[in-house]
Amino acid sequence: MAVSYKPQLNYVDFRDLTEQIRFQSTEGKIWFGEQRMLLMHLSAMAAFRREIVNSMGVERAKGFFLRLGYQSGVRDAELARKLRPDRDEIDIFLAGPQLHSLKGMVKAVPLEIDIDQETGEFYGRVEWIDSFEVEICQTELGQMDESVCWSLLGYACAYTSSFMGREIIFREVSCRGCGDEKCIIEGKPAEQWEDAEEFKWYFKADPIIEELYDLQAQLSSLRSSLQQQQGQYYGIGQSSAYNKVCKMIDKAAQGKVSVLLLGETGVGKEVIARSVHLRSERAESPFIAVNCAAIPPDLIEAELFGVEKGAYTGANQSREGRFERANGGTIFLDEVIELTPRAQATLLRVLQEGELERVGDNRTRKVNVRVIAATNESLEQAVEDGRFRADLFYRLNVFPVKIPPLRDRLDDLPVLIEHFLKKFHSEYDKKTLGLSDKALDLCLHYHWPGNIRELENVIERGVILTDNNECISQEALFVAAPPSIETQPADCVDAGGNVTSGPSAAADSQHWSEHILGNQISLEEVEETLMRVAMERASQNVSKAARILGLTRPALAYRLKKSGILAES
């Protein structure tokens, strides 16, 4: 049977409810029926609500307070049936709005209530006057964009749903908290609301802790990728040989002394030098890298220490050298062995006195630059040969760090390969599946005379030659794989990407001469290829390439010019 409440009907007396309240002051308890209650300050609740809104955001806070109201609603529905067992449905139902009023939360005035327990039909419309939540918002939070009577609404939903034994949803169709004239709620079965699912979301406890754990996980992954990025300043590696170097770098970075980096060509000395700089207190100041071998000997002084106008023909303008530019920071002198005797003398003065004179200048300038030098030749030997000043060597050699060749840290090969794959995938906008097992095996058994730089070139070649979603084969890495990599650990890759035998097999000149003649390669081409390879290995340093080829510098320079190689580079 359907029953309806119309406001003109008697407002049910609710003394039966008031009687349930017991103050057991001496015991520190207030009872409502069998439930313990609290009498708390509205202002405290207001501050609490503000804090929740500020720390969780409005949406989450709304959920909290809806669920807070929901908990009381469920209990009160149970109480209503207990207290008014013999009354009609409407009277029993009205215990809800009455309890709301009794507890001081709001004056709930039912405008229309239709209940049909048999069919489960329900419709309710209630006006809320003097909602405590509106008051809280007005004092603590200011006007909101949407309705604010969250816990009251949670209560109404829970109370009615429990009462009806089916899901009834109330919505606040207008609210004074957001500038409407009245707070009015309307309730009907969940399925009659279009956005019921969305609304029900508020009633699901949505532990923020999960989100915090998620964020924590994200944070730690960001942190580790940041550390990895910083690791790039170290270079990349985890082998014990490389870790030792990293420890040395950390120590070197703290001090002020010059650092001498030793190691074969291509081991990543500049990366290490930069790392020393970035870990030092000079990190915010410039880091200037100079490859001494790449600068013609007659220009090196001017390049490093600056030049005054008119110092020599062609010096049309005064300009500062790299040392002045690095002032306050760090200068990295790669291939320091290539410095001319005069440049060596000036460098010594910079190290000893912290001052220099530009070429063609008689003014002394103060500079504060930390020097990191590097060489892949023995400086001791150069001192013995009279090519390098002994006193400068001792100055530079205060903190020597030996960087191991790649073949002594093959454990690092997989991470290095991974690093370069990533780099070239992004550079060529491609995504290969990485190295085939065989290709990786080949890399792990290869001698890597050109070290990390060679590995980088090989991987770049592999990425270029391999299609998307395919594995990089050994053929893509190396033009021709050695027949048995195990028995020839000293193989190397030539300029064309061919794996060739190292010095042990070099005696077999029969083999390569036959190859040259058989392919009708001219003597000129052979010479040119040899010069190119030598120049590449010598990092374009003519003196060094000449030494590799057993020629004098002028002789090689002449041939390089003649063949057009020098002009190119």
- Measured from the CB of residue 170, what is the shortest distance to Zn ion in angstroms? 12
Total residues in contact with Zn ion, by rule CB under 5 A = 5
197-200 long-range CB contacts below 8 Å, 24 or more apart? 199/169, 199/171, 200/169
The kind and range of the H/E element at 408 are none
CB 126 within 8 A of CB 94: no
Q: Fill in the amino acid letter for 114.
A: D
Span 417-446, contacts to Zn ion by CB under 5 A = none
Does position 185 bind Zn ion by CB under 5 A? no
Q: What is the pattern of x (binds Zn ion, CB under 5 A) and - over residues 78-117?
A: ----------------------------------------
In sequence order, the 6+-apart residues with CB closer than 8 A to the CB of 514 are none
175 vs 443, beta carbon nearer Zn ion: 175
- In the complex with Zn ion, the residue whose CB is nearer, 63 or 306, is 63
Q: How far is the CB of 106 from Zn ion (least distance, A)?
A: 8
In angstroms, what is the minimal distance from the CB of 74 to Zn ion?
21
Smallest gap from Cβ 165 to Zn ion, in A, equals 27
Q: What's the gap between Cα 543 and its chain centre?
A: 44
Piece in contact with Zn ion (CB under 5 A), picked from 168-176, 261-269, 281-289, 541-549: 168-176
Options 108, 113, 149, 156; binder of Zn ion; rule CB under 5 A? 149
What's the CA gap between 447 and 455, in Å, rounded? 11
* Candidates 47-55, 182-190, 192-200, 235-243; binding stretch for Zn ion (CB under 5 A): 182-190
Among 12, 175, 417, 442, binds Zn ion (CB under 5 A): 175
Structure-block tokens of residue 504 = 């042990």
Interface stretch with Zn ion, choices 114-122, 170-178, 185-193, 207-215 (CB under 5 A): 170-178
Residue with the two structure tokens 């000893």: 352
Structure tokens at 458: 């090989």
**CA 115/CA 124 separation, integer angstroms:** 8
> Among the candidate windows 160-168, 172-180, 465-473, 495-503, which touches Zn ion by CB under 5 A?
172-180
Identify residue 323 by its one-letter amino acid code: F
Helix, strand, coil tally for the chain in percent (to 5): 55, 15, 30
Rounded to a whole number of angstroms, the minimum distance from the CB of residue 160 to Zn ion is 17
Closer CB to Zn ion, 152 or 413, in the complex: 152
Stretch in the footprint of Zn ion (CB under 5 A) among 21-29, 50-58, 181-189, 216-224: 181-189
How many separate helices (H) and strands (E) can be counted in the chain? 24, 17
Output DSSP code: residue 126.
E
Q: Please say which residue, 100 or 282, places its beta carbon nearer to Zn ion.
A: 100
| Integer CA distances (angstroms), 400 to 248, 281, 382, 396, in order | 9, 20, 16, 8
Place of tokens 């190689």: 565
Q: What is the DSSP string of 364-396?
A: -EE---EEEEEESS-HHHHHHTTSS-HHHHHHH
Collapse the DSSP code of 124 into the 3-class scheme (helix H, G, I; strand E, B; otherwise coil) and give the result: strand
Select the span of 169-177, 215-223, 352-360, 502-510 touching Zn ion (CB under 5 A). 169-177
The residue range among 135-143, 183-191, 293-301, 472-480 that interacts with Zn ion, by the rule CB under 5 A, is: 183-191
Residue ranges of alpha helices (H) inside 375-450 are 379-384, 390-396, 413-428, 437-445
Kindly state the smallest distance separating residue 65's Cβ from Zn ion, in Å: 12
Residues 482-511 that bind Zn ion (CB under 5 A): none
| 149 vs 156, beta carbon nearer Zn ion | 149
Nearest to Zn ion of 65, 323 (CB atom): 65
Extract the tokens encoding 418. 């991974």
Rounded Cα gap, residues 358 and 301, in angstroms: 8
The pattern of x and - marking residues 120 through 139 that bind Zn ion according to CB under 5 A reads -----------x--------
Cβ 69 to Zn ion, closest distance in Å?
A: 12
Q: Cβ of residue 177: shortest distance to Zn ion, in angstroms? A: 5
| CB distance 338 to 546 below 8 Å | no
* Residue nearer to Zn ion on the CB measure, 164 or 183: 183
Is the CB of residue 402 less than 8 Å from the CB of residue 262?
yes
Choose one: 178-186, 237-245, 492-500, 539-547; the region binding Zn ion (CB under 5 A). 178-186
* Minimum CB distance to Zn ion, residue 176 (Å): 5
183 near Zn ion, rule: CB under 5 A: yes
Distance of closest approach, residue 44 Cβ to Zn ion, in angstroms: 20
Beta carbon nearer to Zn ion, 183 or 326: 183
Query: Beta strands 370-375 and 330-334: pairing type?
Result: parallel
Q: What is the spatial distance between Cα 375 and Cα 371, in angstroms, rounded to a whole number?
A: 13
- Interface residues with Zn ion (CB under 5 A) are 131, 149, 175, 177, 183
